[in-house]
Amino acid sequence: MLNFDEERVRSEHQNGVNMIPEVEKIVDKVCEDGYSNIFLFGIGGTLLYAGQIMHTAKQLGCKLPMYLENATDFLYEGNAHFGKDSVVVIASLSGNTIEVEHAIDKAHEVGARVIGYVEVPDSPIAKKVDYLVSTFGAEYYWWYTVVLRFMKNAGQFEDYDRLKKEIASMPENVVQIYKDADEKMKAYAEKYCDEPITYLVGSGNLEDWAVCYGMCIMEEMQWMKTRPISAANFFHGTLEVIERDVPVILIKGEDKTRPEMDRVEKFVNRVSAKVTVFDTKDYELKGISEDFRGILSPIVMRSAFMRLNVHLEHCRRHPIDIRRYYKALDY
């Protein structure tokens, strides 16, 4: 396989599994001390990762006062529910995401506590948070553990311990997903890498993955024009611009919103000759109960799409670490 480091992939996800007890201790301490509400802060990809677990929490019946906030919007708009007893949850891979850093400062101004996942421990954000967890490649496991542990402690997710036990199987499953997805991702990249625009459709806890992949990978890292859209909103505008030669990526998971994607799939195949379906059902998850597959769809889909990264980079002859403007200009 092209540019595939099996041990690195396995170790990243094992880092996530190994991190869970440390995150649980932090959440348990926050719950013991008491809190009024929970705010998930992010910007760009981190906001979209947090958004995926928010969909999952909703589908699991979460009743906690939990809010998802774009860090920059929060700086200007605020939130009337935010106060000294609020708990902020953040993630920053680099530890120097300036918008998140400023949002943490604003949170501290009113005395709110901040817990954070940062992959670079000696970084500005790592030094600002009140509770820090630091490892590499484990962001999904961070959001899952924080949100679902809060729910468990509130008596709102009784299957938490069973999921925690089974999620230990994910590192090996993910390695296999990378392998199983490779040929399809290679074929897609070879066929569609130079399209003038690509539409990506997702629903539920994969709605934000569609946005994340279009914005953070295809646009930022490959300079490809995209239009991500939720399945729920697709029939309220976007359907009118789908034509025979317009490529559409359908990102199908196994949560409660799958029927939304079935509806979009039925329509686009009547109109476009360039429809590609990526479906989490295509991948085996050993050791994972059927009722948890929908919860884990974001990890499954992200793992598959990591192979598309590699093949787009190769087919377009465009290294993914090259930027024209992002963190290259003063803006």
Q: Is the residue at 328 inside a domain?
A: no
Q: Are residues 162 and 177 in the same domain?
A: no
pLDDT one-digit tens code per residue, 202-257: 999 999 999 999 999 999 999 999 999 999 999 999 999 999 999 999 999 999 99
Report, as an integer, the average pLDDT of 247-272. Answer: 98
Q: Are residues 72 and 95 in the same domain?
A: yes
Query: pTM of this prediction?
Result: 0.97
Q: What is the pLDDT of residue 63?
A: 98
Enumerate long-range contacts of 207-210, CB under 8 Å, 24 or more apart.
Answer: 207/51, 207/52, 207/55, 207/231, 207/232, 207/257, 208/48, 208/49, 208/51, 208/52, 208/55, 209/48, 209/52, 209/251, 209/298, 209/301, 209/302, 209/305, 210/249, 210/251
| % of the chain exceeding 90 in pLDDT | 98
pLDDT of residue 153 exceeding 90, the answer is yes
Q: Is the residue at 31 inside a domain?
A: yes
Q: Are residues 246 and 159 in the same domain?
A: no
Q: Which of 136, 166, 196 is the last residue before a domain boundary?
A: 166
CATH number at residue 233: 3.40.50.10490
The Cα–Cα gap between 8 and 138 comes to 12
Q: What is the pLDDT of residue 1?
A: 96
pLDDT of residue 331 exceeding 90, the answer is no
pLDDT one-digit tens code per residue, 109-152: 999 999 999 999 999 999 999 999 999 999 999 999 999 999 99
Q: What is the pLDDT of residue 327?
A: 85
Q: What is the pLDDT of residue 9?
A: 98
13: closest CA among 309, 283, 216, 303? 303
Average pLDDT, rounded, for the chain:
98
Q: Are residues 112 and 235 in the same domain?
A: no
pLDDT one-digit tens code per residue, 162-191: 999 999 999 999 999 999 999 999 999 999
Please state the φ and ψ torsions of residue 64, each to the nearest 5 degrees.
Answer: -65, 150
pLDDT of residue 330 exceeding 90, the answer is no
Q: What is the pLDDT of residue 140?
A: 98
Q: Are residues 128 and 182 in the same domain?
A: no
Q: How many domains does the chain have?
A: 2
Domain that holds residue 127: 6-166
Q: Are residues 113 and 42 in the same domain?
A: yes
The Cα–Cα gap between 218 and 189 comes to 11
